[in-house]
Amino acid sequence: MPTPMESFINEMRDLFLPDEVYIMDGTKEEAIRLAEFAEKFTIDGRVVLKKLNWQKYPNSYHHSSNPNDVARTEHLTFVCTPTQEEAGANNNWLNPDEAKNKMNNLFKGAMKGRTMYVIPFVMGTPKSRYAKNCVQVTDSIYVALSMRVMSRIGKQAIERIGNCSDFFRGIHSIGNVNPDRRFIMHFPQENLVMSFGSGYGGNALLGKKCYSLRISSYLGKQEGWLAEHMIIIGVQAPDDKITYFLGAFPSACGKTNLALLEPVLKGYKVWTLGDDIAWINIGDNGKLYAINPEAGFFGVAPGTGMKTNPVMMKTLKNDKFFPTLFTNTAVNNSDNTPWWEGICDEIPSDLTDWQGRKYSKDLGQPAAHPNSRFTVSIYNCPTLSPEYDNPYGVPISGIIFGGRRKDTIPLVYEAKDWESGVFIASSLGSETTAAATGKIGAVRRDPMAMLPFCGYNMGDYFQHWLNIGKKVKELPKIFMVNWFRKDEDDKFMWPGFRDNSRIIKWMIDIIEGKVDAVESEIGLLPRLDSLDLAGLDIDKEVVEKLLKVNKDDWKKEIEMIEEFYATFGDKIPKELRNYLVELKNRMI
Ligand code: GTP
Ligand code: SPV
Ligand code: MN
Nearest-CA residue for ligand 2 atom 4 is 251
Ligand 3 centroid from CA 176, angstroms: 26
| Cα–Cα distance for residue pair 71/74, rounded to 1 Å | 9
pLDDT at 234: 98
Strand ranges for 85-182 from DSSP E? 92-93, 115-123, 132-138, 152-153, 168-173
**Nearest ligand, CA of residue 311?**
1
| Cα–Cα distance for residue pair 260/207, rounded to 1 Å | 22
**Residues with beta carbon inside 6 Å of ligand 1?**
249, 251-257, 275-276, 299-300, 302-303, 308, 435, 483-484, 492, 496-497, 500
* Spatial CB neighbours of 581, under 8 Å, sequence gap ≥ 6: none
Instruction: Measure the N-to-C terminal CA separation of the chain; round to a whole number of Å.
Output: 71
| Cα–Cα distance for residue pair 582/423, rounded to 1 Å | 12
Ligand 2 centroid from CA 525, angstroms: 31
**Nearest ligand, CA of residue 209?**
2
Which domains does the chain possess? 4-26+69-224 (3.40.449.10), 228-295+388-549 (3.90.228.20)
**Residues with beta carbon inside 6 Å of ligand 2?**
72, 201-202, 208-209, 251, 276, 298, 435
- Condensed to tens digits (0 to 9), the pLDDT of residues 375-401 reads 999 999 999 999 999 999 999 999 999
Amino acid identity of 478?
Answer: I
Ligand 1 centroid from CA 88, angstroms: 29
Which atom of ligand 1 is closest in space to residue 495's alpha carbon? 28
Percent of the chain predicted with pLDDT > 70: 100
| Cα–Cα distance for residue pair 198/131, rounded to 1 Å | 27
pLDDT tier, 364 (very low <50, low <70, confident <90, very high otherwise) = very high
Which DSSP string do the residues of 385-402 spell out, in sequence order?
-TTTT-TT-EE--EEEEE
Q: Strands 20-23 and 115-123, how do they pair?
A: parallel
80 noted as active-site residue: no
pLDDT at 196: 98
Nearest-CA residue for ligand 2 atom 7 is 202
Q: Are 317 and 343 in contact (CB under 8 A)?
A: no
Q: What are phi and psi of 292, to 5 degrees?
A: -100, 115
Ligand 3 centroid from CA 251, angstroms: 5
Work out the mean pLDDT of the chain and round it to a whole number.
97
Strand ranges for 106-237 from DSSP E? 115-123, 132-138, 152-153, 168-173, 183-187, 192-196, 226-228, 230-236
| 3-state SS class at 212 | helix
pLDDT tier, 437 (very low <50, low <70, confident <90, very high otherwise) = confident
- Condensed to tens digits (0 to 9), the pLDDT of residues 68-96 reads 999 999 999 999 999 999 999 999 999 99
**Nearest ligand, CA of residue 229?**
3
- What residues sit around ligand 3, an ion, with C-beta below 5 angstroms? 251, 276
Nearest-CA residue for ligand 1 atom 20 is 303
| Cα–Cα distance for residue pair 480/411, rounded to 1 Å | 8
Ligand 1 centroid from CA 119, angstroms: 30
Active-site residue, from 80, 134, 210, 253: 253
- Condensed to tens digits (0 to 9), the pLDDT of residues 530-585 reads 999 999 999 999 999 999 999 999 999 999 999 999 999 999 999 999 999 999 99
Q: Strands 443-445 and 60-63, how do they pair?
A: unpaired
Residue of 330, 348, 347, 351 whose CA lies nearest to 339:
330
